[in-house]
Structure 1
Amino acid sequence: MKQVVITGTSRGIGFELVKLFAEAGHKVLALSRNEMPVLDLKLENVHSLSCDISESSGLDKAGDYLKNNADSVDILINNAGALINKAFEDISLEEFEKIYKTNVMGVVGLTQKLLPFFHKNSHVVNISTMGGVQGSVKFPGLSAYSSSKAAVITLTELLAEEFKETGPSFNVLALGAVQTEMLEEAFPGYKAPLSAKEMAQYIMDFSLTGNKYYNGKLLQVSNSTP
């Protein structure tokens, strides 16, 4: 049984990850602004916590829960993400900052908060997007989202180097098109070849075993464009 922390669990891939880990017998701390979708599942060994990881109060809330209920964290999946589909010339600075606050600073803040709980074999899996990969196809309207996810890729590589002697391991998955609410926001009407549950299964399997083979690596998980 692993102690797993997952962010962005109210819908899409994060929601499916919670169910898959619970079904496999692991303990899950599910973090999201909206705790109700996971609470309504009434799953054993799953605790759903309403918190905003882009705010220090939300990070403290998650840290306090772990102090009282877990000795260590085996897996952290930084899945939460915010997206705005808007022409660059129309995006306000406040809107741009909001995307970065969730997609970058949320990852930084939660990872720092969980450092005391990690051990040598812990695995941090950051979720990025193909749009954040250098040289990949880019799409208008996604300047804030894709550039913030590119920052997550480089951050992952840096943290793997910084903690290579002590752990945890850090890897990042750049996802292609998956049928989620966020995909609909980015590409209205587009039908993806993979469901949220199918991608969640891949991410779960990778989080459990991928750090045996990879550290500081970007894996492109995509069979289509976008």
Structure 2
Amino acid sequence: MNIIITGASSGVGFEAVIELTLSGQHNVIALARSQDKLERLLEIAKGINPDCTLYALAFDIVHDDHNDLRQFIASHFDNRVDVLINNAGVLINKPFAELEEMDFVEMLQSNFLGHVRMIKSVVDIMPANSHILNIGSMGGYQGSSKFPGLSAYSASKAALHTLTECLAQELAEQQIKVNCLALGSAQTEMLEKAFPGYESPVMAFEMGKYIADFALTGHKFFNGKILPVALTTP
């Protein structure tokens, strides 16, 4: 399969890439903003499986030119994408009273509009039975516990959740499946920023493996679903 994953330089995205390249059966484009971290990812992946096909590209899904990405996909992926994992995201932890309007803009750009741009970039080169997997959050899951300081982040994730449901209907005719994993805690830098000092019972590599497995097989069982993936609160 030809797979693209964003937010690949750290956390669960980093671990998902390692999992996806283990078998050597898939071609993976890993996107993130940090070239240094991507080079480390490439080094580790090649160290585990020297024969893996992994392209680690420094790319900002919000601000960079998606035409450049399209050209790369055309030349390296035969202009076909089977799986898109929209994992990139940022988090601002501030009381609502201290949040500026630009904080909300940043959250919506990074956690929502960037994914809209990714989907628009590849949806017309995704074949039948392909899978768009959005990585959401329990913070944006309706009816879940909410926490002070995370209103802008949680609202942006809620937008991604609703987009998932809408696109599953719109893309049904093309037989493209769209799902969202609303992640609870995994031991990552983002978790530490959201809940300083909290230790998650789920390690990043465990969640990364789950994401990779679901991206490859989940669309056989689900479409248009926002699935909570959480052991604890948070």
When normalised by structure 2's length, the TM-score is 0.93
What secondary structure sits across from 1:174 in the alignment? strand
Could you tell me how far 1:36 is from its partner in structure 2?
2.5
Equivalent position amino acid for 1:35 in 2? Q
What secondary structure sits across from 2:92 in the alignment? coil
Please list every run of 5 or more consecutive structure 2 residues that lacks an aligned counterpart in the other structure: 47-51
Q: Report what 2:39 is aligned to.
A: 39
Alignment of 1:12-23 (within 5 A): 12-23=11-22
Supply the distance in 1 between the matched residues of 2:136 and 2:68 (Cα, whole angstroms): 25
**Identity level (%):** 46
| From 64, 76, 87, the counterpart of 1:69 | 76
How many pairs does the alignment contain? Answer: 224
Could you tell me how far 1:56 is from its partner in structure 2?
4.7
What secondary structure sits across from 1:108 in the alignment? helix
Could you tell me how far 1:70 is from its partner in structure 2?
1.0
Could you tell me how far 1:8 is from its partner in structure 2?
0.3
Q: Is contact 2:38-2:57 (8 Å) kept?
A: no
Q: Is contact 1:51-1:61 (8 Å) kept?
A: no
| From 81, 88, 92, the counterpart of 1:84 | 92
Supply the distance in 1 between the matched residues of 2:227 and 2:104 (Cα, whole angstroms): 26
What secondary structure sits across from 1:30 in the alignment? strand
When normalised by structure 1's length, the TM-score is 0.96
4+ residue stretches of structure 1 with deviation over 3 A? none
Q: Is contact 1:7-1:78 (8 Å) kept?
A: yes
What secondary structure sits across from 2:149 in the alignment? coil
Matched, 1:178 2:186: yes
More deviation in 149-158 or 21-30?
21-30
Supply the distance in 1 between the matched residues of 2:105 and 2:140 (Cα, whole angstroms): 17
What secondary structure sits across from 2:164 in the alignment? helix
Supply the distance in 2 between the matched residues of 1:24 and 1:62 (Cα, whole angstroms): 25
Q: Is contact 2:38-2:58 (8 Å) kept?
A: no
Equivalent position amino acid for 1:31 in 2? L
Could you tell me how far 1:39 is from its partner in structure 2?
2.1
| From 77, 98, 105, the counterpart of 1:97 | 105
Equivalent position amino acid for 1:96 in 2? F
Q: Can you list the C-alpha shifts for 1:171-224, whole angstroms capped at 9, x where unaligned? A: 000011100000000000000010110001111111111111111011111110
What secondary structure sits across from 1:109 in the alignment? helix
Q: Report what 1:188 is aligned to.
A: 196
Could you tell me how far 1:91 is from its partner in structure 2?
1.1
Q: Is contact 1:118-1:167 (8 Å) kept?
A: no
Matched, 1:169 2:174: no
Q: Can you list the C-alpha shifts for 1:90-147, whole angstroms capped at 9, x where unaligned? A: 1111121011101000110000001122011110100001110111100010011001
What secondary structure sits across from 2:61 in the alignment? coil
What secondary structure sits across from 1:207 in the alignment? helix
